[in-house]
Amino acid sequence: MRWFPRREPMAGDPLAADRAAMVERQLRRRGIIDARVLAAMGAVPRERFVPIGLRSHAYDDAALPIAGGQAISQPYIVAWMTELLQVLPGGIVLEVGTGSGYQAAVLATIGARVRSIERLPELAAAARERLAGLGLGDLVEVIVADGSLGDPGTAPHARVIVTAGAPTVPAPLLDQLAEGGRLVVPVGPANAQELILVTRTLGRLTETPVGGCAFVPLIGVAGFRPGEDGPV
């Protein structure tokens, strides 16, 4: 009798095979090596963070539109930024730009506690609900504010991830970066930025460009003015 490997998706998780293929083809083969990041990307159901009509595209190698004219980032970008952040187990991450909540879910799944700031109240509410539905509500706090100003009340921050494109590295985020801290932020004109890794060592800030990316604009006091560059 011949034996054939089991190919049908796991019961109750019809997109498991697509998710596993995304991890292998889009992440591992492109150089993502952090095992915790790969495991989290293989565990978080991205289909729960995209509009219902786009669920069959949840594991496409692409950003996808979400409500409010915003976007959920391409899986590779989420994994890359998470890897760059080098989250410590149990560490706290400040995220600017909750969007769908997917990036926050990945961070929480690798063991971070996330304080995530979103400027659009309807996106914040939907993300809160989604994260709670996945049992991550205790690990991710979503607040509505202008994240370009950082979060002075909880500063300094050891890890900061900005998931919207800023015209320059927002000065408040630099001021609020802790000693030994890491900040990952896309910088440049709307929809075509350079991803910048900022570190603070012995008080000194170092900015390292690590590659190109394309995000919707960071709108705020230390970002773009509404209507100035890209969608409001």
Active site residues: 73
Q: How far is the CB of 17 from ligand SAM (least distance, A)?
A: 23
The answer to whether 93 and 151 are in contact (CB under 8 A) is no
Q: What is the largest CA-CA distance in the chain?
A: 69
Sorted by sequence, the CB contacts under 8 Å of residue 11 that are 6+ apart come out as none
Q: Which of 64, 124, 118 minimizes the C-alpha distance to 94?
A: 118
**From CA 60, how far away is CA 62, in angstroms rounded?**
5
**From CA 197, how far away is CA 186, in angstroms rounded?**
9
Phi first, then psi, for residue 112 (nearest 5°) are -85, 155
Closer residue to ligand SAM, CB minimum distance, 181 or 217: 217
The contact set with ligand SAM (CB under 6 A) reads 70-73, 96-97, 99-100, 102-103, 117-120, 123, 146-148, 163-164, 215-216, 218-220, 223
Side chain identity, residue 17: A
**From CA 149, how far away is CA 113, in angstroms rounded?**
20
SS3 65: strand
Closer residue to ligand SAM, CB minimum distance, 77 or 198: 77
Q: Which of 133, 137, 157, 153 minimizes the C-alpha distance to 145?
A: 153
Closer residue to ligand SAM, CB minimum distance, 15 or 73: 73
Closer residue to ligand SAM, CB minimum distance, 80 or 215: 215
Q: Which of 188, 198, 231, 180 minimizes the C-alpha distance to 66?
A: 231
The answer to whether 165 and 185 are in contact (CB under 8 A) is no
Closer residue to ligand SAM, CB minimum distance, 180 or 212: 212
